[in-house]
Amino acid sequence: MKTEIALIRRELCAAALLILLLAAASSARANRFLTVVPVEDAGMTPITARVSIIGSDSLAYFPLPDSAYLHYSTLGGYFYADPPVAVAVPPGATRIRAAKGPEFIPVDMTVNVQSDTVIEVALHRWIEPRLAGWVGGDGHADLTHPPVQQILNESRARLAATAEGLRVTNFLDNGFLFLGAVDPLSDTAAVLFSAEEYRTTLFGHLGLLGIDSYVNPDWSGSGWPVNGDVTTQVRTHQSAISVYVHPATTDSFFDTSGWPGTGLARGIWIDAPLGTMDAIDVLSHSNEAAVGKADLTTWYRLWNCGFTIPGSAGSDITLAQIPKVPIGGVRVYVNVPDPFAPPQTLYDSWIEGIRRGRTYVTTGPLITAFDVGGAGAG
């Protein structure tokens, strides 16, 4: 009798397991494939974009496999991928959001997905700053800053840059993909340059943009060589500048025990009077001590003291980390002679424009012209 009961229980457990497996398979089959094709409405040409898909269950959905695209958990969950992008979603009202930087009007729409669906998401360019000579870029992004949660290479870096509408992107990864020139994948749509971040625990960090050879050391716990000496060395390169990145990481001036204290730009007040300072990232996501991540206090004090230091911007966002906001959320627009020039020429003129102060920095609002008494920036 006991044996028969045991057999019955075993059969019941097996049947229950089979029911669960069938239910799971049925649930999987219940998903529908939503294919999203971002297009520029001017010619309905497919374009890369930042895309977010929220299912009828209020969960974020991504393309599979994970290794085929860049995905992030902030802003409700978003990803970058070349169109078309197919995502399995549950049936029902599905929210689609798409964006491509501040030069395009973002789209936020809801579709009722009941079967496999293909939908074009038309993004409208409301402004083309290049027609007035302005080229937007990110002066400080990262590809491999730990912890590394997804693999980056040149193609993926370009994908993210074009999806965010960044014409110029500087990746400060200290050797990773460093060439001393623009990346071969660069074109007038997206110029990529792998540069270097010189870090000291005492004087702050420098973005060494446009360098044609690696500057050693890339980290100085002792503070030597001092930042001014590094800037002097950078100026010997063909077309390069040294930028104080994330100058306001903290308001604890004497804390150098670790981040964010080691990122504070203490060396500014040495280098500005000595003339060994090329520019400052007024906007940075790592400006934790500044209101709105805009270190206007330091910048205005420099100018009030007679030091006309150009303003720049760098997001300090690492593409390899999943819980990150997009690169280019803060960016610098630089006025250049030919915004449609070949990649290396465009990059060199972009760097020179920052050196000469022909810039404005923004978190979104854009302009095409401004002057004071007939004189433009720089």
Sketch the domain layout of the chain as residue ranges.
31-125, 129-362
Q: State the average pLDDT over residues 198-217.
A: 94
Confidence of residue 36 (pLDDT cuts 50, 70, 90): very high
Is residue 6 pLDDT above 50, yes or no? Answer: no
Asked if residue 267 lies in contact with residue 230, where contact means CB atoms within 8 angstroms, the answer is: no
**Mean pLDDT on 37-46:** 90
Q: How many angstroms separate the CA atoms of 104 and 59, rounded? A: 26
61-86 as b/e, with b when 16 or more CB fall inside 10 Å? bbbeeeeebbbbeeeebbbbbbbebe
Q: How far apart are CA 232 and CA 211, in angstroms?
A: 12
Q: Largest Cα–Cα distance in the chain?
A: 103
pLDDT in tens, 64-113: 876 678 999 999 999 998 899 999 999 999 999 999 999 999 999 999 99
Q: What is the distance between the alpha carbons of residues 265 and 209, in angstroms, rounded to a whole number? A: 17
| Phi then psi dihedrals of residue 163, to 5 deg | -65, -30
11: pLDDT strictly greater than 80: no
For 31-125, give the CATH class: mainly beta
Mean pLDDT, the chain, rounded, equals: 91
What's the pTM? 0.90
Could you report the per-residue pLDDT of 178-191, keeping only the tens digit for each? 999 999 999 989 99
Distance CA 161, CA 142 (A): 12
Number of neighbours of residue 228 by Cβ within 10 angstroms: 19
Q: Percentages helix, strand, coil for the chain, rounded to the nearest 5?
A: 25, 30, 45
Confidence (pLDDT) at 251: 93
Share of the chain above pLDDT 70, in %: 92
Helix (H) or strand (E) holding 158: helix 154-163
What percent of the chain stands above pLDDT 90? 82
The CATH number that domain 129-362 falls under is 3.20.20.140
Handedness of CA 9, 11, 14, 15 (dihedral sign): negative
Average pLDDT over residues 355-371: 93
